[in-house]
Amino acid sequence: MKSKDKIIYFAKSEENVLKKSKKMILDTIEKMFEDNTIEEFSIYELVHIELVKEGKQKFLRLYVDKDGGISHDDCVLISRKLGSILDEEDLIQEAYILEVSSPGIERPLKKLKDFVRFTGKKAEFKLYAPLEEIGMKKFIGNITSVNNEDIVIKLEENDEIVTVPFDKIATSKLVYSFDD
């Protein structure tokens, strides 16, 4: 093995360690919200979390919600509490910026329970591959029901009813409507 090959090998190994470390960090934070070990977090739903590098800066972003909506004071409370926990545990070894915010009015639908919660609402869907029935992989429609792992949608375009397996959805988000 040439020394150049060793450098590439070590770089790939280091990258894999960093990915595992990132997953461990995100999983640890998710558990804080899911298992109610942090009392202050028990009323909040962690909608999405990401640890990303933009330019030279690293960001830990949390999108949280609660019944009745999230306020600025909620974001401040979560940010302060989580920030102190992360500093105390030294979970993230390098400098980062912690951002806590609402998922927004057009919040992402990430989990099966999100589709159940927002049944009757309009959403935008992007699939991994075109849906055979309609030949499209991107469309807007109303979530009419959730059956096991399938999302039943009434298409906005033509009122056709389609069934989409949950695991075929790449991304989905609510679509704000003035009618709501």
Tell me the CATH architecture of domain 3-101: 2-Layer Sandwich (3.30)
Distance CA 125, CA 136 (A): 10
pTM of the model: 0.74
CA 128 to chain centre: 17
List pLDDT tens digits, range 60-89: 999 999 988 899 999 999 999 999 999 888
CATH of domain 112-174: 2.30.30.180
Give per-residue pLDDT as tens, 131-180: 888 899 999 999 999 999 999 999 999 999 999 999 999 999 999 877 65
For residues 118-136, give the mean pLDDT.
93
- Residues contacting residue 101 through CB under 8 Å, at least 6 positions apart: 61, 62, 63, 64, 70, 75
SS3 46: strand
Distance CA 73, CA 5 (A): 52
pLDDT digit string, tens, across residues 4-26: 444 444 444 444 444 558 889 99
128 vs 16, higher pLDDT: 128
Residue 3 confidence (pLDDT) above 80: no
| CA neighbours closer than 13 Å in the CB half-sphere of residue 179 | 5
CA proximity to 100, closest of 40, 56, 55: 40
Report the distance separating Cα 125 and Cα 54, nearest Å.
Answer: 27
Output the pLDDT for position 7: 45
What are the residue boundaries of the structural domains of the chain, listed by start?
A: 3-101, 112-174
